[in-house]
Amino acid sequence: MDYFKLISSNRDFAKLWAAQLVSLLGDWFSTIVISALIVSYTEGTGYQGIAVSAFLIARLIPPLLMRPLAGVLADRFDRKRLLIASDILRALAVLGLLFTTQGPEYLPLIYVFIVIQFLISSIFEPARNAIMPSILYRHQLVIGNTLSSVTWSAMLAIGAITGGLVAELLGIQAALLIDSLTFVLSALLVVTIVIPERPRSEIGGDARKVKDKSQRTFRDGIRYLTKHREAAAPLFVKMGQSITSADTVLIIYGTQVFVLGEGGITSMAILWAAFGLGAIIGPLITNRFSDGSVRVLRRLIIIGFALMALGWLFWGLAPSLEFLTLAVLVRAMGGSVNWTYSSVIIQQVVPDEYLGRTFSLDFAGFELVQSIGIVVLGLLIDAVGNAGIQSIVFGAALISLAPLIIWARIAQLLEKRESYILAVAPEPAPGG
């Protein structure tokens, strides 16, 4: 397969991919464990929904506030060193979570360490995405990003199951310790990566002019995007699909509606595993219909939005954990397609000198909209209780049609604009 060929032929990408693999495995260990811990600490208090939402918000708001600086750092400084420093600092932050496992009185401390961890992560992600065009050739970008997305999804599935098992067998502290060690291993892998001076994705084309790094400001990045519609358009995708976040609803369904295992750890593990499996399947299927061009990728994102709406509809109709598992899988397929292809489009159309800031804005839009959605969902869940949660899911299915319609229109307008530019472009001179 092309995926194995890429890993075996490109050692630097293989190391970056392996670093992502081990750190994500540990991340899902702690996500499952901390989610169950918060639910157990707030049982019978009447504010479980908002407590879970606060946990998810603590993972989103700090990075959102950090994005302007993170993007500038990723474009001004050595991206490889940023990755290493981020991994080491995140390992220390996760170790701090060990102090929160002693009882409900330590609940506020959970949020403190989660905030610290994800502040640091906000630097890591733009730098990692910006590095990929440097170590991948242009024809490898779709395969590389698909593999990256699939890895996130596979580690979600594997990490959800193993995290639940480790927590059951060895305890919460063991799961958190494993998470910390995965960041250390990730840093060791990144140390060995060699970053070319000129991005490999630009080899064979015209070299792009590189500005003085001291001039790479956040405002300069905004100006670039306002002048280039084709570069700004994909920033809508992650933002649009996060209007209806599944995380809060999934945790409540796993711990309150279809409950398996102590505190719902087993049912949550099954649902997160289904989410991960769906996210693997999505881009693997749609890649069969992709030629790697920006135009085709935009069209496939329309399919991704449609799958998300269908998944929400199935979710609302789910009479059992088995049917809910299928619904979660379908929704995740669409979300993964959108995430993967929007990232590829950015890497193809945005110059290297703007990639860090563009990805920071991309993630910031996602985090802002998802944060708002999570707060609203948490308040709604606490207001209507478990009896009304089905209505909330049907509402999410209806709302998810909006980004589908908007993106279809954006893709159509961009295609018309590009066709017009191509039509009026002057003919090349004979022999030129």
Mean pLDDT of 301-305: 95
Whether residue 427 is contained in a domain is answered as no
Whether residue 306 is contained in a domain is answered as yes
Q: Which amino acid is at 128?
A: R
pLDDT band per the 50, 70, 90 thresholds, residue 156: low
Residue 407's pLDDT is 94
Whether residue 203 is contained in a domain is answered as no
Residue 329's pLDDT is 93
Residue 325's pLDDT is 92
Residue 213's pLDDT is 57
Whether residue 210 is contained in a domain is answered as no
Residue 300 scores a pLDDT above 90? yes
Q: Which amino acid is at 327?
A: A
Residue 338 scores a pLDDT above 90? yes
Tell me, rounded to whole angstroms, the distance of Cα 229 from its chain centroid: 23
pLDDT band per the 50, 70, 90 thresholds, residue 210: very low
Distance CA 244, CA 398 (A): 10
pLDDT band per the 50, 70, 90 thresholds, residue 402: very high
Whether residue 334 is contained in a domain is answered as yes
Domain containing 108 — which CATH number? Answer: 1.20.1250.20
User: What's the whole-number average pLDDT of the chain?
Assistant: 81
Highest-confidence range of 86-100, 301-315, 406-420, by mean pLDDT? Answer: 301-315
Residue 332 scores a pLDDT above 80? yes
Residue 307 scores a pLDDT above 90? yes
**pLDDT top residue among 150 and 234:** 234
Whether residue 201 is contained in a domain is answered as no
Mean pLDDT of 38-46: 76
Per mean pLDDT, which range of 181-195, 211-225, 274-288 is the poorest? 211-225
Whether residue 213 is contained in a domain is answered as no
Mean pLDDT of 393-404: 91
Mean pLDDT of 166-172: 74
- In tens, the pLDDT along 352-380 reads 788 888 888 888 888 788 878 877 877 78
Residue 204's pLDDT is 47
Mean pLDDT of 312-329: 90
Residue 195's pLDDT is 82
Whether residue 219 is contained in a domain is answered as no
Distance CA 52, CA 38 (A): 7
Highest-confidence range of 3-12, 260-269, 343-352, 398-407, by mean pLDDT? Answer: 398-407
Distances (CA, A) of 221 to 129, 350, 356: 16, 11, 9
Residue 136 scores a pLDDT above 60? yes
* Domain encompassing residue 136: 2-194+228-422
Residue 279 scores a pLDDT above 80? yes
- In tens, the pLDDT along 225-275 reads 888 888 889 999 999 988 887 777 887 787 777 777 776 777 877 887 888
* Three-state helix/strand/coil letters over 71-99: HHHHHHCCHHHHHHHHHHHHHHHHHHHHH
Q: 395: exposed, middle or buried (C-beta count within 10 Å: 0-12, 13-18, 19+)?
A: middle
The answer to whether 198 and 49 are in contact (CB under 8 A) is: no
Number of domains observed in the structure of the chain: 1
pTM of the model: 0.73
The answer to whether 329 and 314 are in contact (CB under 8 A) is: no
Residue 64's pLDDT is 77
Task: DSSP for 371-395, please give it.
Answer: HHHHHHHHHHHHHH-GGGHHHHHHH
